[in-house]
Amino acid sequence: MNAFDAIIIGAGQAGPSLAGRFNDAGKTVAIVERKHVGGTCVNTGCKPTKTLVASAYAAHLTRRGAEYGVVLDGPVKIDMPAVMRRSHQVTLDSRHGNESWLEGMPNCTLIRGHARFESGNTVRVGDELLTAPRIFLNVGGRAAIPDFPGIDDVPYMTNSDIVLLDRVPEHLVIVGGSYIGLEFAQMYRRFGAAVTVVEKGPRLIGREDEEISEAVRDILETEGITVRAGAECIRFRKHENGVAVGVNCTAGEPEVIGSDILLAVGRRPNTDDLGLDKAGVETDARGYVKVDDHLATNVEGIWALGDCNGRGAFTHTAYNDFEIVAANLFDGGNRKVSDRLPGYALYIDPPLGRVGMSEAEARRAGKKILVGRRPMTQVGRAVEKGETQGLMKIVADAETGLILGAAILGTGGDEAIHGVLDMMNAGVTFDTLRWAVPIHPTVSELWPTVVLGMQPT
């Protein structure tokens, strides 16, 4: 049996950085990875998808060249194998960088294999037994496969599969109208595929305010993407031209025929084959590891970080989990997950940057609010770029003046939102934003006027 000061199961976003802190402290640490170092972000998430988004944007902008006075001799052609090679190289570079970093740590041992608990402080990897007083789960998640009728009878892809697809589908049907599905929808439409998005709910990205949801739908439909929301009869069957997807039992065409199917209906944690029962670690009904505000499980000496704990579903929240645990273990801190301000982005084009509460969430919380909004048609940077779709929106507490949340659906929105995020973390009122002198021409320069235009609603 090999003894370490710590064992980390999973080399996603939190694991390697935590290994680095143990290494730097002179503590021995084993990090166990059964597949690819880097987790979802590096291998099937952020790195490959955002690289593909960049290629799709290049194709889209090239087609619009005449609007900017740039004339092409012929139509735009997509070399999908070349697009995929570029994406895969970005992934490989990042993965190999993480591997080299871990392998270069003198006190860290990278072990390849599937880790399963034997007890609360013992883990088996193949024929090898590892033990440590501290064990950290960073096992991530994977695409959920819903029990739709006929799903086992037809071929389909998840995000892990489609990031390796080196051809453009004739007609891609995406089941799931949320963040992952919409990014692939626009991406493949720009690559030249016909695309239909099938969403069971009444609208896309249902957690967003309705006006944001409708604006996103308008952006996608303007590019020729078909949206079938309210699809209460989702089912599958083989068809001579691919797969028939049932979408509605009452209105419109009852089926959509697709050459390829992408399932994007949520995620599930990779906790079902870790032997958590042998360690006594509790999970919830969906399989997420239960953790407290410091990310500790119910078993002393075991923590859970990243997607597997259900406290965040993003690369940046996983990394923040590492920061919380490291600060508390090594720096005498008392950092908590509940202190984290939620922020995220939807990487369609133009992107959606979000932080804090939506208007609907603020209302449900019973707060008296002020709301300001401005269409991107009135944002100089958007006009100059010829990208005026979307809007800006801010929600503030009418009694305290504190900003509760904001959204920027528009060019540069995923970057400009950080100005508001920083203000919210600093705990300052919207007057600070009102008095700011932003750079011209930028997206952020409109925030003071949006604040000035806030109204009670």
**Radius of gyration for the alpha carbons in the chain, expressed in angstroms and rounded:** 24
- In the predicted model, is pLDDT for residue 251 greater than 80? no
- Label residue 433 by pLDDT band (50, 70, 90): confident
DSSP secondary structure code for residue 304 in this structure: E
- The one-letter amino acid code at 170 reads E
CA 383, 387, 77, 83 dihedral sign is positive
- In the predicted model, is pLDDT for residue 126 greater than 90? yes
Contact yes or no for 283/290 (Cβ under 8 A): yes
Average pLDDT, the chain: 95
CA-to-CA separations, 62 to 51, 72, 86, in angstroms, rounded: 17, 8, 18
d(CA 224, CA 27): 56
- Label residue 451 by pLDDT band (50, 70, 90): confident
pLDDT score recorded for residue 59: 97
- In the predicted model, is pLDDT for residue 429 greater than 80? yes
- Label residue 199 by pLDDT band (50, 70, 90): very high
- Transcribe 150-201 into DSSP letters: TGGGS--B-HHHHTT--S--SEEEEE--SHHHHHHHHHHHHHT-EEEEE-SS
pLDDT score recorded for residue 88: 96
For the question of residue 440 being annotated catalytic, the response is yes
- Label residue 406 by pLDDT band (50, 70, 90): very high
Q: Among residues of the chain, what percentage have pLDDT more than 70? A: 100
The pLDDT tens digits of the residues spanning 16-55 come to 999 999 999 999 999 999 999 999 999 999 999 999 999 9
Rounded average pLDDT over 251-259: 89
CA-to-CA separations, 188 to 147, 160, 215, 320, in angstroms, rounded: 26, 15, 20, 32
What pTM does this model have?
0.95
The active-site residue, picked from 114, 316, 418, 440, is: 440
The pLDDT tens digits of the residues spanning 56-85 come to 999 999 999 999 999 988 899 999 999 999
